[in-house]
Structures are given as structure tokens and as C-alpha cells.
Structure 1
Amino acid sequence: MATKYLKVLGYPAVDTLNLKDEATFKKIVVWIEKNKIKLAGQDTVNTLSNPNSNNWRTAFDKYKEFLGLPSLLSTDDECLIWLASYAVQEQYSKKKNEYNKYSVQEDIKPEITPKITAENPLDNLDFRSDEFKEGINKIAKLLNITPHPDVSITLKAVRLLITERFTLEALKNPEQFIVEGTPFPLDSADLGIDVGDPVLKHAAKILRMLFIQDLRNLQTRANELIVKAQNVTANPKTDTKLGKVGF
């Protein structure tokens, strides 16, 4: 996951990195702050730039607290994923006007939007509050999901996992819902896509694989519908009382 974000950020030689190496981890943290986030004070940057400093971890803990990194993230791998995704978000926010001009947005007129008063207590939640974010991050941690800086994305990941893995059918037959096997070699696979830019090419491959997965799910549902229809039409019941002999 961290590799994906680092590619988007343009970190050099991503494919050859050993993200489990502590020295590499420290180097990436400094690169992200200096080149992408650019929010820390000079003293913090100086300490983080010295990987051999005895105060490196202390400075890093203060840096994480300064950025608002959830305290539930304890491992270097989790922290790196969060920092890289945070940097991507920062890059987007700086150029959102440039990016948004390529998207289609509908004009919404608030004055004609009907006001609906709901009795559902969930409608009264403040989804931007720190308490709500902390709650979602705790749930994600329990489900082994790395929290995202955007809590709405974390919530979507939680919903997806719960709806797929915690249904009654999935709990009774987990072997039918837990994907096993060798991961698809996306980086080395040639899917017939060549857009020039390696980052765009990688993103295009991912979108194409997701599209293929959607097609397979659609085909599976179509097959299930055909089987149910055949069960009805292939064994019709005959009412002999309605029969007629002769003319």
C-alpha cells in the first residue's frame, strides 16, 4: 500500500525499496516532509534528517502528533502508509482547482433542497468531529484495516469488510468468502495498456482489474438468475384435472 502512494508522489526507485528497513523508512519520512508536506519546523526537519540521532524517534513522535496521526498506528509500516496518503491529500488540496476542472459537477441550489427531519439518531452525528474519527479508527484497528487520513475512506473500507466477511452466510462458511491464492503480479503483467507515464499506467491497470472483477460479479449473478429460472421452467407441475380428451 505504501509503495502505491510513494509512486504517486514520485519517490525515486520505489520498486527497489526495502520498506522494512529502518534506515529506508527514516529516509522516506524526511523526503515526504521536505518535498510534499512541508509543515514541520526547521528544528524537527533537522533532527529527522539525521537518521543516527538518538532523538530521532522522539522527534518523529512529536511530528506525528503535530500532523494528527492516529495514536492507534504503532508500526512503522502503518505510519508510513498514513504519511504517504496524507502527502497525496496535501498535493491534491494545493492543486484541487486544476484537478476539479476535469470533473463534471452539477450546480446544486440549496434554496430548493427540501429539509427532511429524520428520527434516526445516526443523522445527528457530527461526522467531522474528533470523537467520530477516533471511533472509526478504533473499529478499523480491530478489523486490521490501516486508517486513512480521510475518515470517510476508512469508513468505506470498514463497511466493505463487514458486509462481505461478517454476514451470517460468511460466518457459517468462511472458506467461501476468504480469498486465497497467489496475488496477481500487477506490476509485471502486460494488460495491453501503454499511456507513457508509469504512474498513470499503474493506475490504469488497477482500474482495468477492478472493471474485470465487476464483470465477473455481474456474470456470477446472471448465472445464478439463469439457474433459478431453469429450476422453475424445467420441472413444471401439471394439473390433470384441466386435461381434455377428444373434441
Structure 2
Amino acid sequence: MFRRKLTALDYHNPNGFDCKDETDFRNCVVWLEDQKIRHYKIEERGNLRNIPSSEWPAAFHQYLQDVGAPFSAQERPEALDWLLGLAVRYEYGDNVDKYRNCQQLTASKEGDKRGDHLINLDSDSPDFKAGVSALANILKVQRHDDYLLMLKAVRILIQERLSPEAIAKANQAKEGIPVPLDKHILGFDTGDASLNEAAQILRLLHIEELRQLQTRINEAIVAVQAVVADPKTDHRLGKVGR
């Protein structure tokens, strides 16, 4: 119950501390006041420091009142836990830069671990395979013998096409750019001005379709290169190595 807070406070024996042991309990309270809380002035700590005294319980009762604890001296575990929490808050306030740097380092390490979260999945689990297959069917992702690779494809699709940013971008109305037909030479003459204009429009639409097709081809090439570049992929066999 107290070990984590005692460890955080650098208490000398967090694992061996016994709240039910009278000497351990009193020593811990005095240590918290002397080292972390420091509510009393040094000369005011005499009664609390007199651990063997029969008057110590009364001094402890007064101490709880002075620090504003919501628990009585009879509620020892709760009172001690509250004092530990108070000490932790004071410790953080005295070393805010130190703990902030530690939190940032921990967050960075956790971020690195999250980046590799797929590595720890059991790709042979029936539940895993069923879940990935269901996702692939919903998103119309091509089936593959390697379910982990399929899951990566699902993740890429969701990130690039179904993220809030991608959806917002797709929903934006695209304003057309006026195209002067007289600037585009048809290359032949039908003998009818209206037919010539219609042929120019069809040709421009065809060019736009070719551009979109080329974009999809480029995306496919990039996707294939990414798979081939994966060190787990044996492209000679057309399979992903395990």
C-alpha cells in the first residue's frame, strides 16, 4: 500500500516497512516531517521526534491537526497514506524540473514502444486472424497469407484515408478552374464548331483521367517498394518472412 510512495520519496527501506510495527510507523512519520513535509520549525519537532515517549500518540494527533490531515490518529494507515501523498506533492514542487524531464523521457520511451506495438501481437491466434479478416473485408483490403502484413495495410489505409484530417480534406469542395477551350488545339476539324468544342472537352476529360491513373500507379509503386524494402520481406518468394 505504501511501498510505491516510499520508493518515490527515497525512503531507506520501502520494501521492509511495516505500518503495524509501532517503531516503524513512528520513525516513518518523523522522517516524513524532517525530510519532506517540514511543516514544523526544527525546534518544534521535539515531541514528534521523541519516538519512545508514551506521549508520542498525542504529539502525532496534534501533528495531524496542524498539517490539516482529514484523518485522526486512530486511522493510522489512512493518515500515513495521506502524509505520504502530501510529501510526494512537496517533493514534486521542490524538484519540478527534475520530474518534468523524467516524465518527458518516460513518455518518449513509451512512444518508442507504442511504435513497435505490432511486433508483440500473436499473428497465429485464431481471434487475431478473424479480427484482421473482418477489418480487411469491411475496408476492402486485399487478402494475404500473412495476417500481420494485412493489419499493417489496414492501418495505413485508415491513417491515409479515414483519419479526421483525410476525411475533412476529402469533404472540402473543390472549385473548378476555368479552362479556355481556344487555348487547346484539337488537332483535327469535324467541320462543325459545336462538335469541335465537344471533342475538346472530351479530350481534356480524358487527359485528367490519365493523370489520375498515373497518380494511382505511382502510389502502387511506392507501396510495393515499401513492402520490398521491409527487412522481413522475402520478395524472391513473394511472401513475408517470419
Query: TM-score of the superposition, structure 1-length normalised?
Result: 0.40
| Pair member with larger Rg | 2
Higher helix share: 2
- Relative contact order: is structure 1 or structure 2 higher (C-alpha 8 Å, sep ≥ 6)? 1
Query: TM-score of the superposition, structure 2-length normalised?
Result: 0.41
